[in-house]
Chains A and B, each alone.
Chain A
């Protein structure tokens, strides 16, 4: 079953995530594919994540397809204007890529080219609407296409940033614009996440879209602290930091924590899947999925 079929059928879906290399070495992607094949339904490919230049997400996606793994390309609004985005998306569709995740993108000053000009011609919600319009057979200019792409449209949601209510409005707008699935930022605060889901369910939003909870396995307390201090918009309960600091084997503890979080969010009504995003630790994906299957 493809990712789309599973979402349409209302089945529980699993996503992974790959960060392409900072070089033209396609073998990096080829090698990483084995961590996902047969374990997850689709794999996100980041688009110049944290504003650092990396191998193009569309090219990486094609490599993954050849390896038999279904990709989800991330598209950010930071680097491309509406012309480039549309043309890239048409190219992606021609290459057989069907899943798109629409993001605004990290600000350029966070990356390796802080002097760059940020584009931000569209925002993520407008990008969702633009892809939906392309699906309906029209380009943004209103020109009708001879062949329309059939993208599965995704977007991101951050339940953990302030203001809480505004995050629900954003979620509502993304669904209204045409998002088929939503991936959240990594959950490190179960209380806040379930409160957010409760509200989304009360608004009826979980029926219009598939909400996938983000889970990030970490391998050291340092990584967690770094996230807390330097990555904007994440919220981490002190409980998890304490646990990682006291663990004798932080890697094992990291896996244990991820499995626990997965078990907990699976039980929350409205959650339709898990998006596993171990940053630079893709190899752990199969272990975690196997452990959740055991429990």
Chain B
């Protein structure tokens, strides 16, 4: 069987789940939109990207910056803004969560767009948020050593 590289949409959301999702979204938005600029992708990886939402990238990249980040860290598409992955890197570095950036994030399930990430975690559609990271430096070394 192939590796799990796509975030699967099975089982699909039921009508009832969509209703609950809609309700939960209200509360989720109240927190995540002003704090993180959440784009409502429904498949939240905020906890592994230094609590900067990666979906604010115009290309919606989930695995790191494109090749166009400027020398001052500006975004290639909107030079007046900082590249979100530039911010993610430095924030992760400060929070000692760099080891999380080595993870391959799955291909996005666009079916979850606009749904509540909280419900999706609860229903195990998406991975649960990453809690505290201990010994970040050690973990980076382990990643490089045994994964390749």
Give Cα distance in the complex from A14 to B85, angstroms: 32
Are B144 and A203 neighbours in the complex by a CB distance under 8 Å?
A: yes
Interface residues of A in 165-209 (CB under 8 A from B): 165-166, 169-170, 172-173, 175-177, 185, 203-205, 208
Question: B2 on the interface (CB 8 Å rule)?
Answer: yes
Give the CA-CA distance A101 to B2 in the complex, in Å.
21
A-B contact count (CB 8 A): 125
A162 touches B73 (CB 8 A): yes
Contact flags B93-116 to A (C-beta < 8 A → 1, else 0): 100001001101111101000000
CA distance A204 to B145 in the complex (A): 9
User: For the complex, what is the distance from the CA of A136 to the CA of B2, rounded to whole Å?
Assistant: 8
Contact among A173, A208, A232 for B63, CB-based, below 8 A: A173
Q: Is the CB of B102 within 8 A of A169?
A: yes
| Chain A window 116-158, contacts with chain B (Cβ cutoff 8 Å), 1 for yes, 0 for no | 0010111111100110010010101110000000000000101
Residues of A within 8 A of B104 (CB): 125-126, 129, 173, 176-177
Q: A104-B66, A172-B144 are in contact. Are A162 and B71 (CB under 8 A)?
A: yes
Question: Which residues from chain B contact A82 at a C-beta distance below 8 Å?
Answer: 107
Whether a CB of chain B sits under 8 angstroms from the CB of A251 is no
The smallest C-beta distance from B39 to any residue of chain A, in angstroms, reads 13
Query: Contact between B64 and A233 (Cβ–Cβ < 8 Å)?
Result: no
With both beta carbons as reference points, the residue of chain A lying nearest to B73 in the complex is identified as A162
The answer to whether B148 and A130 touch across the interface, beta carbons within 8 angstroms, is no
**Which listed residue, A107, A165, A172, A233, touches B89 by the CB 8 Å rule?**
A165
| A161: interface (CB < 8 Å) | yes
B64 in contact with A156 (CB, 8 Å)? no
- Chain A residue contacts of B70, Cβ below 8 A: 161-162, 232-233
- How far, in angstroms, from A130 to B106 measured CA to CA in the complex? 10
Contact between chains at A185 and B6 (CB < 8 Å): no
B148 and A169 form a contact (CB under 8 A)? no
CA distance A205 to B102 in the complex (A): 14
A233 engages B3 (CB within 8 Å) = no
B59 within 8 A of A: yes
State in angstroms the CA–CA spacing of A163 and B72 once bound together: 9
Chain A CB within 8 A of B36 CB: no
Q: Which of A125, A162, A165, A176 contacts B69 (CB 8 A)?
A: A162
For B129, list chain A residues within 8 Å (CB): none
Whole-angstrom CA separation of A191 from B90 in the bound complex: 23
B34 CB-CB contact with A under 8 Å: no
- Which of B3, B62, B101, B148 is close to A123, meaning CB atoms less than 8 Å apart? B62
Q: Is the CB of B71 within 8 A of A166?
A: no
Partner of B59, one of A104, A140, A161, A166: A104
**A70-105 to B contact mask, C-beta < 8 Å, 1/0:** 000000001000100000000000000000000011
Q: Is B67 an interface residue (CB 8 A)?
A: yes
Q: Which of A122, A123, A177, A205 has the largest count of B CB atoms less than 10 A from its CB? A: A123
Return the chain A residue nearest B6 by Cβ.
A140
Name the one of B65, B106, B147 contacting A166, with C-beta atoms under 8 angstroms: B65
Closest 10 CB pairs of A and B: A232-B68, A232-B76, A158-B67, A138-B2, A125-B63, A233-B68, A166-B89, A170-B64, A161-B69, A163-B89
Task: Given contact pairs A120-B61, A232-B69, enumerate 8 new A-B contacts (beta carbons under 8 Å).
Answer: A107-B76, A126-B106, A162-B69, A162-B86, A163-B69, A169-B64, A176-B148, A235-B71
A interface, CB within 8 angstroms of B: 78, 82, 104-107, 109, 118, 120-126, 129-130, 133, 136, 138, 140-142, 156, 158, 161-163, 165-166, 169-170, 172-173, 175-177, 185, 203-205, 208, 232-233, 235
